[in-house]
Amino acid sequence: KDSSTATIFPETNSFKTLADFDSKLAQHDVSTKSVFEYIDAGGVTWIVSVVPFFPSSQSGTSTLSNTLSILVFAQRSLAESSLDSLKSNIRTTTVQITTVTIIIILCTVVGTMLLVYGVIYFITGPLETMRRISQEIMDISAEDEDRKDYQSVLQKAYINLSRTDEVGILASDYYNIVCLLHNKNLAKKEAPKYPPNPFHVGLPHFNITWSQYVR
């Protein structure tokens, strides 16, 4: 009870009925209503909450018509202002929660995409490198024999040999194939251009001077 309700309903040392306080208040049946609106003589609207303290009961054939109840008064304007403030706080909190949720979802999506991209690059990166090296090997193979040089692709093929997964094993096998191709190309360059003729018989060397024919 605040000062405004104390002025309208002063404290007494005896039980009072609603009609003793205000005839308008007595028009409301507090035995059936738990909450109702009440306008006092000054025109102020109140929200009244009724809490039965000793409800009506039957004793023999007589019925107790009076009920001892606790009435809680709240000025409607103050209550509505509190509700408006509560609505504003709820709206602000809802916006904040929505914003935080959207940020979390975006961060989760971006983080997931980066993780997936990293995994894809971790798997397909060496495969893409091998594809480019294979294309270079095809270009080198189309050149003349004396211009073929696989040294550059041999250095590029030395990739991810420290990995122990399936991609690392594939990269190691691919490097060995490029090494074999490079070694065969070197051996081919060092080999004689024409193979030795097994039917060739060397002629003896004669040291003949021009003076032997001039007499």
Q: For 99-164, give the DSSP string.
A: HHHHHHHHHHHHHHHHHHHHHHHHHHHHHHHHHHHHHHHHHHHTS-GGG---HHHHHHT--STT--
**Residue in this structure with the two tokens 């609207």, named with its chain if needed:** 45
For residue 62, pLDDT over 50 is answered with no
Question: What confidence score (pLDDT) does residue 117 get?
Answer: 92
Question: What confidence score (pLDDT) does residue 103 get?
Answer: 96
Question: What confidence score (pLDDT) does residue 29 get?
Answer: 75
Average pLDDT (66-72) is 74
Question: What confidence score (pLDDT) does residue 1 get?
Answer: 45
pLDDT band at 58 (very low <50, low <70, confident <90, very high): very low
Question: Is the model's pTM score more than 0.85?
Answer: no
* Rounded (5°) CA angle 74-76-79: 75
For residue 86, pLDDT over 80 is answered with yes
Q: Are 73 and 47 in contact (CB under 8 A)?
A: yes
Average pLDDT (116-137) is 87
For residue 101, pLDDT over 90 is answered with yes
For residue 8, pLDDT over 60 is answered with no
Name the token pair of 40.
Answer: 């006092």
Question: What confidence score (pLDDT) does residue 202 get?
Answer: 60
